[in-house]
Amino acid sequence: MTIDIFWRIPTHGEPSSHRSRKPWRGDWFPGNDNLTKPGLSGGEDGTSYIDYLAEIARAAEISGFQGGLIPSFPSTDEPWVISAFLARETKTFRFMIPFQPGFLNPVVAARKTASLQRATGGRALYNIITGGGGPQQLWWGDSVAHDDRYARTTEFLDVVRGVWNGGPFSYQGKFYQVEDAGLPDPLSAEEFPEIYFSGSSDAALASASKHADYYLSWLEPFDALRDKFNRVKERTDVLGRKIQCAVRVDIVARPTEEEAWEEIRRGFDNIDPAALARFQGTGERSESVGAARQRDFRPTTINSYKDLIIEPNVWSGFSLLRGGQTQGIVGSYEQVAERLDDLVRLGADAFILASTPHLEEAYRVGEEVLPLVRGRPSGSAVLRAVG
């Protein structure tokens, strides 16, 4: 299968470059909850942050991305709402909606999804997340324990699939029950959304193997990622269900490698020392296995941005420049495309890329990097890397 490449919608707001946190687009700001003059939002003319997000979604579809991941955190706007709001003003953009199954009744979720499919011409996808546990989970009003939550995720998707084509479907699970359920016509004629699944624990893999189409991982050092993808594919092959793998990765791509690293250097030099100290420290732990893996790949002494280069073109300080993941790819257009092809060779079937600012960079990456990615021509065998 050919490679699907997605973009990301910055629900956190975003700075106008990697170099500095100012000016900030949108009204959210990590570490500053009292931004007095938010950019691009809350204008007296009635504009709001959704107007900027609409620009990004359209830039992404015009420059050739499949669509975008719309992250959901306690501090962000919500992807279901953003997707519905932007349905009519996009043409090909696919809305990847992260949500935790515990938050919605599965029959309601099925109706929401089918309606969104109807509103968009089949452009909705799920990113099923099961939650990191701890205090964060109780903030959302969810007190189910870590491994139980994956059991619930499995049940949730059992029910959504069960009712999807009209039923009648009955189910007696530990978390969900329905009786003679089914989506009404014409909602029942819609395509079921592709499922991107996140979660690194064994409980997560067991659940993913039953329902996921794509296993989604943050970028990790390439050898670690190869092992992880092999493990996922072995596990799901045993269960009889082929699953694809996808990588979320931030990138900085410039005409030359020097320019790309200069961008990182300037950004690093502008980091608040306290933020760097927090980055090196332990921070608040959650039960998330994925977050722990990210920490493990981090060096203990950081004197320069160069100390965070963990392999060629891979920098592990992205979360210092903006919220989100740690590892990302830095290099010339050619190098970034080559690293993406390396990831294809070690098992990636899809990407969610991002760069700041997401609007202008959607065009840059779409025009300069995507045309250089060889990907995997349709019909060629899926290569399983062996070391």
Partner 1 sequence: MTIEFIWQLPTSGDGRYGDAGQTRRGERTASSRPPFTEGVSDPRGDRFNFLDHLHQIARAADLAGFDGIQIQNDLEGDESWIVAGYLARSSRRLKLLTEFEASRGSAVYAAKNAVSFQRFTGGRFAWQISQGGDAALRRRHGDYAADSERLPRIGEFVEVARGVLTQSPFSFKGQFFEVLDGGFNGPLANHPVPLIYLSGNTPEALRLSARSADVHILDAAPAEELKASVATLQGLAAVQGRRIAFGLRIDVLARETEDEAVHDAQRFLAQSGRAVGSTDPVVGPNLWAGFATAQTGAAASLVGSYGQVAERLTKYADIGISSFVLAAIPHFEEAYRIGEQVLPVVRSRIATQLSKAA
> Can you give the binding site for partner 1, defined by CB under 8 A?
13, 26-29, 33-35, 38, 41, 46, 48-50, 74-75, 77-78, 80-85, 87-89, 102-109, 111-112, 114-116, 118-119, 135, 138-143, 159, 176-182, 184-187, 189
Task: State both tokens at 202.
Answer: 């064994």
Pairing mode, strands 177-181 and 244-254: unpaired
Alpha-carbon Rg for the chain in angstroms: 21
Task: State both tokens at 375.
Answer: 């990907």
Residue 32 or 280 having the CB closest to partner 1: 32
Residue 135 or 273 having the CB closest to partner 1: 135
Return d(Cα 255, Cα 373) in angstroms, integer.
Answer: 15
Return d(Cα 254, Cα 262) in angstroms, integer.
Answer: 10
Pairing mode, strands 177-181 and 169-172: antiparallel
Closest separation in Å from C-beta 281 to partner 1: 23
C-alpha distance from residue 90 to each of 82, 83, 187 (Å): 12, 10, 21
Residue 1 or 145 having the CB closest to partner 1: 145
Closest separation in Å from C-beta 58 to partner 1: 13
Residue 22 or 295 having the CB closest to partner 1: 22
Task: State both tokens at 66.
Answer: 């499949």
Residue 39 or 317 having the CB closest to partner 1: 39
Closest separation in Å from C-beta 252 to partner 1: 27
Distance between terminal CA atoms of the chain?
A: 22
Residue 87 or 365 having the CB closest to partner 1: 87
Closest separation in Å from C-beta 148 to partner 1: 15
Closest separation in Å from C-beta 161 to partner 1: 14
Closest separation in Å from C-beta 22 to partner 1: 16
Residue 116 or 337 having the CB closest to partner 1: 116
Cβ atoms of 196 and 128 closer than 8 Å? yes
Closest separation in Å from C-beta 162 to partner 1: 11
| Residue reference for tokens 């390439």 | 222
* Non-local CB neighbours of 377 within 8 Å, separated by 6+ positions: 2
Q: Which residues pair with 309 in a beta bridge?
A: 315
136 secondary structure, DSSP code: H
